[in-house]
Amino acid sequence: MDTRSGSQCSVAPEAVLNNGDLVLPPRISRVNGWSLPLHYFQVVTWAVFLGLSSATFGIFIPLLPHVWKYIAYVVTGRIFFFYLIVHLIASCIDPADFNVRLMKNYSQPMPIFDRSKHAHVIQNQFCHLCKVTVNKKTKHCISCNKCVSGFDHHCKWINNCVGSRNYCFFFSTVASATAGMLCLITILLYILVQYFADPGVLRTDPNYEDVKNTNTWLLFLPLFPVQVQTLIVVIIGMVVLLLDLLGLVQLGQLLIFHIYLKAKKLTTFEYLIKTRKEESSKHQAARKDPCTQMEEGFLQQGDGALGSSAQGAKVKSFLLIYKSPCHFCTSVNPDGDSSAK
């Protein structure tokens, strides 16, 4: 989660620290996930999707026996196609507040926010930057520099804010991506088992009738058969399996996290604010505890290395509180009314 800098200078709406780098909001508000510049996470997402799709439908599914092959084409194909559609919709939708979309001219630069005049970007449900009245759950996103209705978080992977207008498509993207990963892992594990148990099961395609060498395999069947050695297929399979497992772990965590949020009727932003307040209360209570104060005094007066190590451990444990399963998205710290601070 991005944190604010301590500067009181006038920026639009405010500079933030992101992994140690000072990040300024864009002067021109972003419309959706295709507004330039594209984020490199977004490029990686599409590259991985295209690569996995090519490997799945061009290499691995054609190796399956006839019955399983057609089942895999239908099931996996529908999941991948559904993922493509909902991902595109989540990226293309403008999640801005209704009044922003109604009144805003996206070609005009945003005004400079001056904290000497206003304590917050949004006060009494009026945004001093967008110059419109917004609803209660609207927040002004720093990365997009506009008010987002039902703000959840800003996602680098779709390069767009996730709000009430596109949250269901974002959730469907995560769910379908997880399902697609599970399908691909199932296919790869079946191929791996059959390769050691009965390799002939993987060579049922008619194009193998002309291949006499059992160490030769055909890729991109049935349209563009390419002959390769076993080692090439094994390397491709292991790389895809590794990427798939890593992606499944991350996406699985993200999916479970958002299922939890839906059950609690919270947004990612609300969850992080709630967690921050709870942690702050715990630290304040700990400071009032005489035993804790004596322990802290001992650490400060004792061996320098011990004190430094203990304080470092505290900082690490404090930061881990905010490292939610939402690795695949970036929850920016949008400016709103005092309740959002």
Per-residue pLDDT of the chain (341 residues; tens, 9 = 90+): 343 333 333 334 555 555 555 567 888 999 999 999 999 999 999 999 999 999 999 999 999 998 899 999 999 999 999 999 999 999 999 999 999 999 888 889 998 888 888 888 999 999 999 999 999 999 999 999 999 999 999 999 999 999 999 999 999 999 999 999 999 999 999 999 999 899 989 999 988 988 888 889 999 988 889 999 999 999 999 999 999 999 999 999 999 999 999 999 999 999 999 999 988 888 777 666 554 444 433 333 334 333 333 334 433 333 333 344 444 444 344 554 433 33
Specify if 315 maps to a domain: no
Residues 316, 77: Cα–Cα separation, whole Å: 43
The model carries a pTM of 0.78
Yes or no: say if 272 and 332 are a contact pair by the CB < 8 Å rule.
no
Specify if 260 maps to a domain: yes
Structural domain count of the chain: 1
Taking the alpha carbons of 138, 140, 146, 152 in that order, is the dihedral positive or negative? negative
Specify if 206 maps to a domain: yes
Specify if 62 maps to a domain: yes
Closest CA to 56 of 193, 179, 184: 184
Specify if 110 maps to a domain: yes
Cα 196–Cα 202–Cα 206 angle in degrees, nearest 5: 155
- Domain holding 260, by residue range, is 3-271+325-340
Specify if 280 maps to a domain: no
Residues 6+ apart with CB under 8 A from 77: 57
Contacts by 197-203 with C-beta closer than 8 Å and gap 24+? 201/65, 202/63, 202/64, 202/65, 203/63
Specify if 277 maps to a domain: no
Mode of pairing for the β-strands spanning 3-4 and 16-18: antiparallel
Specify if 177 maps to a domain: yes
Yes or no: say if 224 and 269 are a contact pair by the CB < 8 Å rule.
no
Identified catalytic residue from 144, 155, 326, 329: 155
The secondary element (H helix, E strand) that includes residue 147 is: strand 146-148
Annotated active-site residue 9? The verdict is no
Yes or no: say if 76 and 19 are a contact pair by the CB < 8 Å rule.
no
